[in-house]
């Protein structure tokens, strides 16, 4: 066996299933191959600052069903651009050499990185500098290119669907428009799938710019048909037609601060004269226990990642391809995201159910 010791970390936004993945990596490595496992705390920051813990089987006992991550995480830490103090001033430094020094110090043969698209992009950059890496995709937005699904997504969809179910009764009682804003700045998977599962009347996703007049028309048509309430599910990145999509635009900043649903509610109430209320799920989608599906998927990913390391099949990301767990080259997916296909099956099915996308 060439690989005796591996590292593992979680990086980026937290999501349900991270502990399940850590458990799978640790148990597979120790039980199947006799590897030692070093866990790095708070993502890439732990690698740069050499904050670590030797993982034992006891450390991962009882965490399969727990939300969060026992290793901690950081959402905005780029090891290639770290702000440090120098002579009383703040300067930005590339700390990737520090990462390599840390791995060399611990005699780590390969690093298992659990994270989203940005985390995986940094992993690809590290691999190009000679660091052996295997990535495990997590994302409640399901926007990671190269895999049919990422763990964390189905739990977020469950949370959003339960919220829609609860909003139905209060919307009907008060004859209101209820807007539920869910996560998804660039990809509308959570809005789309929870909207279908929860029976939403309008679903707004970043991939399909909406015409507010058409959204209002769909709601008024429901009222004229005897339906005095409507449920609108909007991804946080949903935008009206003609708005800018540039990441630095005011629209994006406004959207990030909850502007999507606020703007939508004001316009709909003005156009329909129907009371409109907003619910923003926010970080509720990231918390809580992972669903059975995500526990199983994270476990599958973790076990396959360790098998890849044992076989020397490195610089890959584990992925789901037609229900089978496989692997794909990091260089093939780095820097890419997976939008909802506007001509895909789910959009088509939603339209068949009478859902309006405001287009």
Nearest residue to 36 via CA among 51, 56, 63:
56
Quote the pLDDT of residue 100. Answer: 96
For the chain, domains (ranges, CATH) are 5-151+290-321 (3.40.50.450), 155-287+341-352 (3.40.50.460)
Nearest residue to 327 via CA among 339, 344, 312:
312
Helices 292-310 and 153-174: crossing angle in degrees, nearest 10, is 160
Quote the pLDDT of residue 173. Answer: 92
Query: At which residue do the structure tokens 């540039």 appear?
Result: 246
Tens-digit pLDDT profile for the chain (359 aa)?
455 899 999 999 999 999 999 999 999 999 999 999 999 999 999 999 999 999 999 999 999 999 999 999 998 899 999 988 887 888 999 999 999 999 999 999 999 999 999 999 999 999 999 999 999 999 999 999 999 999 999 999 999 999 999 999 999 999 999 999 999 999 999 999 999 999 999 999 999 999 999 999 999 999 999 999 999 999 999 999 887 654 344 444 444 444 689 989 999 999 999 999 999 999 999 999 999 999 999 999 999 999 999 999 999 999 999 999 999 999 999 999 999 999 999 999 999 999 999 99
Alpha helices by DSSP H, listed for 199-258, are 212-224, 250-256
Nearest residue to 18 via CA among 63, 83, 53, 54:
63
**CB 157, CB 192: distance < 8 Å:** no
Contacts of 289 (CB under 8 A, 6+ apart): 16, 65, 66, 67, 155
Q: How many C-beta atoms lie closer than 10 Å to residue 76's C-beta? A: 8
Q: How far apart are CA 33 and CA 326, in angstroms?
A: 20
Q: How far apart are CA 142 and CA 151, in angstroms?
A: 8
Quote the pLDDT of residue 1. Answer: 45
Contacts of 132 (CB under 8 A, 6+ apart): 109, 110, 111, 309, 314, 315
Quote the pLDDT of residue 2. Answer: 53
pTM of the prediction?
0.92
**CB 288, CB 95: distance < 8 Å:** no
Q: How many C-beta atoms lie closer than 10 Å to residue 217's C-beta? A: 15
Contacts of 321 (CB under 8 A, 6+ apart): 147, 148
**CB 175, CB 274: distance < 8 Å:** yes
């Amino acid at each position: 066996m060439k690989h005796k010791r591996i590292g593992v970390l979680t990086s980026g936004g937290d999501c349900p299933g991270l502990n399940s993945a850590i458990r799978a990596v640790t148990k597979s490595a120790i039980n199947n191959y006799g590897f030692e496992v070093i866990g790095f705390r708070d993502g890439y920051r732990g690698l740069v600052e050499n904050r670590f813990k030797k993982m034992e089987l006891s450390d991962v006992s009882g965490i399969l069903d727990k939300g969060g991550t026992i290793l901690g995480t950081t959402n905005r830490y780029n090891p290639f651009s770290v702000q440090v103090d120098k002579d009383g001033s703040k300067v930005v430094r590339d700390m990737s050499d520090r990462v390599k020094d840390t791995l060399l110090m611990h005699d780590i043969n390969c690093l298992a990185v659990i994270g989203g698209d940005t985390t995986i992009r940094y992993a690809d950059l590290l691999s190009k500098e000679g660091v052996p890496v295997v990535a495990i995709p997590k994302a409640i937005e399901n926007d990671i290119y190269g895999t049919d699904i990422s763990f964390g997504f189905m739990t977020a969809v469950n949370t959003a669907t339960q919220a829609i179910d609860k909003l139905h009764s209060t919307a009907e009682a008060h004859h209101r428009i209820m807007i539920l804003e869910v996560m998804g700045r660039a990809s509308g998977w959570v809005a789309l799938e929870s909207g279908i599962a929860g029976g939403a009347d309008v679903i707004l996703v970043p991939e399909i710019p909406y015409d507010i007049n058409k959204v209002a028309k769909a709601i008024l048509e429901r009222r004229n048909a005897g339906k005095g309430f409507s449920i609108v599910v909007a991804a946080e990145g949903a935008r009206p037609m003609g708005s800018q999509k540039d990441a630095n635009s005011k629209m994006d900043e406004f959207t990030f601060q909850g502007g999507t649903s606020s703007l939508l509610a004001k316009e709909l109430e003005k156009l329909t004269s129907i009371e409109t209320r907003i619910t923003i799920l926010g970080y509720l989608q990231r918390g809580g226990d992972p669903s059975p599906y995500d526990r199983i998927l994270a476990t599958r990913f973790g076990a396959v990642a360790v098998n890849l390391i044992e076989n020397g099949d490195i610089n890959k990301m584990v992925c789901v391809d037609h229900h089978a767990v496989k692997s794909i080259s990091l260089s093939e997916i780095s820097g890419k995201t997976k939008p909802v296909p506007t001509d895909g099956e789910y959009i088509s099915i939603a339209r068949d159910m009478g859902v309006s996308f405001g287009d």
